[in-house]
Structure 1
Amino acid sequence: MVPYSPPEKRRYHVQLTNGSLHSGAWRLVEIESRRFYSEANMKKTLIVVGIVLVVVLAIVAILPGMLDVNHYHDRIQAELQKQLGRQVQLGQMNLKLLPPTFKVQNAVIGEDPKYNSGKPFALAQELDVEVKLMPLLHKEVQVTSLHMVHPQLELIRGVDGSWNFSSIGRQEHPKKEKPEEEKHAIKLDRFVIDDGAVAITDQQKHQPRMEYNHIDMVLKNFAPDKPFDVTVSAHLPGAGKELAKLDWHGGPINDATMVSTPFEGTLELDQVGLSGAQQYLNSKALAGTDASISGNLKFKNEAGKVSTTGTVRMENVVAHGKKLGFPIELDYNATNDLKTELLQVSNTLVKIGSAPFVINGTVNESTVPAVANLNVTTQNASLTELVKLGEALGMTLSPGMEPSGRLSANLTARGPLSGPAVAGTLSTSQLKVKGVEANSVLITLNMVPPGEDVVKTLTGRITVKMDNGKLTGVDMAQKLGEIGKFTGTTKVADGATHVSQLTGTFDLKNGVANTNDLKAVTDAGTIGASGAASLVDQGLNMRATAVLSKQSSQQVGGNSIGGLMTTAMANRNGEIVVPVLVTGTIPSPKVTPDLTAMAEMRMNNLLPSFSNPSQFTEGLLGKGGAGGILGLGGNKQPEAAASPQQKGSNAASEAVSGISGLFGKKKK
């Protein structure tokens, strides 16, 4: 075959046979001629197509400006009302052909009259309504997508639990008109919200309207009785990524019981700052609080029960303007019954710094405020970290307390979530707090809900058991020796009172603890005490009775002690008794003689014992009165029976002797 070349440059070589063209040559000429004309036609076709395309593009560009789409304003508005099932008001309109889109200014979608909110369902500065082209050519409007710019949406849950958005696209028709209903039911390929504001009102729970700003949303494949997808995201102000994103897949919507609508999805938080969330949520409760929150939660609804699992981590935590200094982690596992509004929490782990807390129980969200029934346990938590958390939450201890050690707890919280009653047990090890040190302390408590100032409103009952500790602010052995004018009781000269065991019950009211059964076994003897200790200012106002053992009493001098009958007495067992007043503060107590108690014991002829320093069951040593005391350690002489008159006279005499003894012995 002859190689192809432009027609004007082609040369045809033919062979003459007997003076005529060979048939093959004629065939070659025919083929080349056809190719020439085909190429020419191709060029013409391309030119025509190009011209048509330019014309079409010109029409697309010019036609929307030439057409007055507002001429069809009322028809489009009416068609949109049919599909949405709501009153619709459209402002100025423009047309874009590719894709066919009506651009509407100041669009308003009305509310379902059932909810009577006084506000429209949606307001949008700009609404783009994308429609199908072919129905539009037949003067029908079939909406495929909606795009709202800076809209304001009102979401309302009614008293019956239904939401106002569930009736969009549905109309009340008799059963025979069901085909017409289906014809006008809205079906959207996409529904997009750019930088919107969403307000939520819960009429069922009588909760006030809350507004959430800067919301972006994309809804895909929405149609009645079909599943659909929703993605909601919020970009918050702040230094981090500040992204909260919800991916939701569910449906079809169950009109009869909304809570039975099946759905599942995830919530992602990526460096969301609480300070930014405060502006986003418009919540005053978050004032002075900040943290960077990241996490991922998965949820799924089955038959009205939403199960949620996932982890959340809070870093750089600031509460009430104070930096916490350690992260808080949450490993969440819960099920929420949407029908009964009961939240079931199962083995949810909250880690505060290094301190782990496990939470189980329920929260009834059907009431306002919600009611909790929760159990909280922890093992070997750091008291230092917990105190910092408490201070950040407003539960400030008295200055200088600075507790340290390890805490284990098993507590139950019942009542309003804002302030439940707390009961259970606390145990500490290696406890150190200003004025007190202990290897172990066991506390049983039953507290009513506190007020805003937790310490000042603490009310309830606490039972305390402390083993192998010491009171670092006072040396009771030394103080008792000074008061009773004896020496030799101090075993460890470190300025502290060494306690092998301390027990007692405290009734708390408004932060003040009262007790009448405090008992301590110390290196100074046994001590029984009653009175008040304030948790607000650490103040003490107590009366105590110290009883030395018989052996210790003999070691310090027995009946030769200098304070006998003035600041000290002895019971029939030969045990020295020293009543004292304890004032000052818990870190720095002041111990002084209790002269009133001295007079009462002398008049009643009853003293406590070493085994029970709080109960006055023992008589005075010896005969009684000054004579009996002076006979400390001697043999008791038999007496004749006294008449009632003599008994009364003796009692009066003993009382006078006892009172006079308080002012010192008569000089000889």
Structure 2
Amino acid sequence: MEIRARTITFTLGQISTLGQPYAESILERAEEYDKSMQFNKRALKIAGIAVAAVVVILIALPLFININSFRPKIESELTSALGRPVTLGEMSFSLFSGNVGVKNVSIADDPAFSKSPFITMKSLEVGVEVMPLIFSKQLSITGIELEEPQITLLRASDGTWNFSSIGGANKNNPPDPAKSGGSQNLSIAKLEIKDGKLSVGKVNSTAKPQVYDKLNAEVSNFSLASQFPFGLTINLPGGGDAKLTGRAGPINPQDSAKTPFDAPMKVRGLDLAASGFVDPGSGIAGSVDLEGTLNSNGSQAKAVGTITCEKLKLSPKGSPSPKVVTVKYAIDEDLDRQVGTITQGDIAIGKSVARLTGGFQAQGETQVMNLKLSAPNMSVDELEALLPALGVMLPSGSKLNGGTLSADLAISGSLDNLVIAGPVRMSNTKLAGFDMGSKLGALPAFSGKASSNPDTTIQNASLNARIAPDVTRADAINVTMPSLGVVTGAGTISPNGALDFSMIADLQTNRSEARAERTGRGGDQGGVSFRIQGTTSNPSFVADVGSLAGNVAKGAIQRSVSEKTGDKTGGILPKRRPR
């Protein structure tokens, strides 16, 4: 006979040698151990059955909680909070994650803007507190996650947005505290938007809306009645991205667009032409990086920062500039009156800096500008690379070298119809690669009077410019060229670059004599008239036959009068009456 306990085996012979008392003790302990093992096995079976039962209950419990019964309440709460009808589709509940899934969500737009939805999404996840839901059937929201929402923003001609009325109130109908108290108490621990798409357009406009994708946002401790932190990233039309992080709130119950916020902002690779921020007809284009801050108290907004522009183009006929332009700006805006003031606008092109100041105001769908640009003693070499961006084409193969340019310009009108006007002065520069002497020397009137030189040196040049979409005009042109003399005149440049200038060249070194000849007071030797035609890239110089004939006739008349009257001044002084 053998007795097995634990892993020890004894034979009867061995037991007898141990002694009867000790053998009985071993047998008793073996029996107790067997009973313990049997109890543990039964306990393990019971525990396994209990765990299985709990798992079955946990799996089956959502089947007994009809989460869809909460749908009317959730729709009602959201409708009350947003002031917009909210529609929810089929709902599901996950006990392990504590999430409620909702399909086919739709939030209506303000009917004054559109009958289409303001937001749609295939699904969203709503985090809830499980225990209150199971035992008290109370729905406590801990978080909301929106998956791939489609959001449509529309702007009216008066400047209001379709999200301005979110919250259920407007300027004409203030919120009722008794009715809005529940919605004002709404709070969400975490609100997320993942991979959204944002469409921005204008009401009743045929223009294609601008579409921004990859919208991702996160809001913590969201409340309608208090400030909350937020972060947002989005891809921009035509490439590039933007990032905002900061704080916002409390939500303005009368106009959500006037909710206070304070946010640092970074923009990379903004395509001006595709952004929708500028009118396509303006011809403005280029790539922009921006870093600054944007804040608002709901009525007054302020933007401060630095803009870096590459491949800038400022005219429909212009071409991208190879020069980088940097702008340091500070802008104050009255949101109620839609009026803004540029308090700082330092435009740097290399080491040259121009200053832009003034204001702007919204009128309908456009912005009307009233600005001043002061550009004192800017380097011509720096500006030369920017001329193509302005649509200014120099004669083919030529280039401006050296000297300075100063301008005091007024910029006025709507963005799509800007007019730039004011005096422009340039000194001590050279138009390299353009031989003005040879061009004029081909005309009989200049034969032997205009010296040829590969470059045209300009001692001083001034004019009054007026640049408009329909035509560019230059008046009071006065150019001093040592090799030629003083050239004066006026003319126009058409949008396609065609030139039409009437000029007079005074081939004199004495300016007083030249001035006298231009006014006809120098006898019959007046300045030589000519016209500049062709295009900016290929100008042509032709004799002004009409002006020449007029000068000849004028000289003949003056001589005739002086001969008859004995007036040696050429008929300028009045004849004395006999006493």
TM-score by length of 1: 0.61
Structure 2 residue aligned with 1:506:
490
1:462 aligns with 2:475: yes
- State the match for 2:166 in structure 1: 167
Match of 2:356 in 1: 359
Among 374, 379, 384, the alignment partner of 1:377 is 374
Establish whether residue 602 from structure 1 lines up as the match of residue 556 from structure 2.
yes
Structure 1 pair 458–236 and aligned structure 2 pair: CA distance change class (3 A): closer
Give identity over the alignment, percent. Answer: 21
8 Å contact kept, 1:359–1:375: yes
- Aligned residue type for 2:475: I
Greater shift in the superposed pair: 594-603 or 189-198: 594-603
**Partner amino acid for 1:142?**
S
Segments of structure 2 that go 5 or more residues without pairing to the other structure are 1-5, 9-38, 437-455, 563-567, 573-579
Displacement of 1:440 in angstroms is: 2.4
Q: Could you tell me how far 1:301 is from its partner in structure 2?
A: 1.8
1:155 corresponds to which residue? 153
Q: Name the SS for the 1:376 alignment partner.
A: strand
Q: Deviations over 1:575-620 (max 9, x none)?
A: x837755357697746699567445533552699xxxxxxx95269
TM-score by length of 2: 0.69
Alpha carbons of structure 1 residues 376 and 210: separation in structure 2 relative to 1, 3 Å = same
Alignment counterpart, residue 278 of structure 1, candidates 271, 274, 278: 274
RMSD over aligned CA atoms reads 4.9
Residues in 1 aligned to 2:254 and 2:176: alpha-carbon distance in whole angstroms: 17
Q: Output the amino acid matched with 1:602.
A: A
**What does residue 225 of structure 1 align with?**
225
- Give runs of aligned pairs for residues 183-194 of structure 1, distance below 5 A: 186-194=186-194
Task: Tell me whether 1:88 sits opposite 2:86 in the alignment.
Answer: yes
Which structure exhibits the higher relative contact order, with contacts defined as CA atoms closer than 8 Å and separated by 6 or more residues? 2
- C-alpha separation in 2, matches of 1:322 and 1:148: 43
1:365 is paired with a residue whose SS is strand
- Aligned partner of 1:450 in structure 2 is 469
Distance 1:420 1:318 in 2: 15
Aligned equivalent of 1:402: 399
CA deviations 1:234-275 (Å, max 9, x no partner) are 145999xx4410124122122245565332111112x42529
Alpha carbons of structure 1 residues 606 and 147: separation in structure 2 relative to 1, 3 Å: farther
2:118 to 114, 121, 124: 121
1:353-402 Cα offsets, whole Å, 9 max, x none, are 44322111101124443111111112332335434333235444453453
The residue aligned with 1:522 is 508
Q: In the TM superposition, what is the alpha-carbon distance from 1:143 to its structure 2 partner?
A: 3.1
1:67 aligns with 2:88: no
Q: Is the deviation greater in 115-124 or in 84-93?
A: 84-93
The one-letter code of the counterpart of 2:559 is N
Contact map agreement 1:601 1:607 (CA 8 A) in 2: no
The answer to whether the 8 Å contact 2:125/2:146 transfers is yes
Q: CA 1:382–1:54 in structure 2 vs 1: closer, same or farther (change >3 Å)?
A: farther
What residue in structure 2 maps to residue 638 of structure 1? none
Counterpart amino acid of 1:215? Answer: L
d(CA) in 1 for partners of 2:418 and 2:354? 18
Whether the 8 Å CA contact 1:108–1:120 is kept in 2: the answer is yes
Larger CA Rg, structure 1 vs 2: 1
- What SS does the corresponding residue of 1:164 show, helix, strand or coil? coil
Q: Show the counterpart of 1:618.
A: 570
Q: Deviations over 1:113-157 (max 9, x none)?
A: 4x3511112110221122232442233333332211111113345
TM alignment of 1:202-241, pairs within 5 A? 210-235=210-235
Q: For 2:386 and 2:192, how far apart are their aligned partners in 1?
A: 42
1:522 maps to a residue whose letter is Q
Consecutive unaligned residues of structure 1, counting only runs of 5 or more, are: 1-6, 10-40, 452-456, 471-495, 531-542, 548-570, 609-615, 621-668
Aligned residue identity for 1:119: S
What are the Cα deviations for residues 137-190 of structure 1, in whole angstroms up to 9, with x where unaligned? Answer: 233333332211111113345669475365347899996944x84178532222
Q: Give the Cα separation in 2 of the matches to 1:100 and 1:444.
A: 73
Check the 8 A contact 2:370/2:413 in 1, yes or no.
Answer: yes
Say whether the 8 Å CA contact 1:170–1:185 is kept in structure 2: no
Q: 1:34 is matched with which residue?
A: none
Distance 2:52 2:132 in 1: 25
Q: Per the alignment, in what secondary structure is the counterpart of residue 605 of structure 1?
A: helix
- Classify the secondary structure of the residue corresponding to 1:386: helix
Partner of 2:74: 79
- Kept after mapping to 1: 8 A contact 2:331/2:343: yes
> Which residue pairs with 1:263 in the alignment?
261
1:333 aligns with 330
Alpha-carbon displacement from aligned partner over 1:327-367 (angstroms, at most 9, x marks no partner): 12111111111111111101211113443221111011244
Question: Residue type matched to 2:100 in 1?
Answer: F
After superposition, the Cα gap between the structure-2 partners of 1:141 and 1:76, relative to the gap in structure 1 and judged at 3 Å, is farther
Residue equivalent to 2:22: none
User: Could you tell me whether the CA contact under 8 Å between 1:94 and 1:103 is conserved in 2?
Assistant: yes
Aligned to 1:246: 244
Q: Spell out the pairing of 1:476-491 with structure 2 (5 A cutoff).
A: none
Whether contact under 8 Å (2:521, 2:570) holds in the other structure is no
The answer to whether the 8 A contact 1:104-1:126 is kept is yes
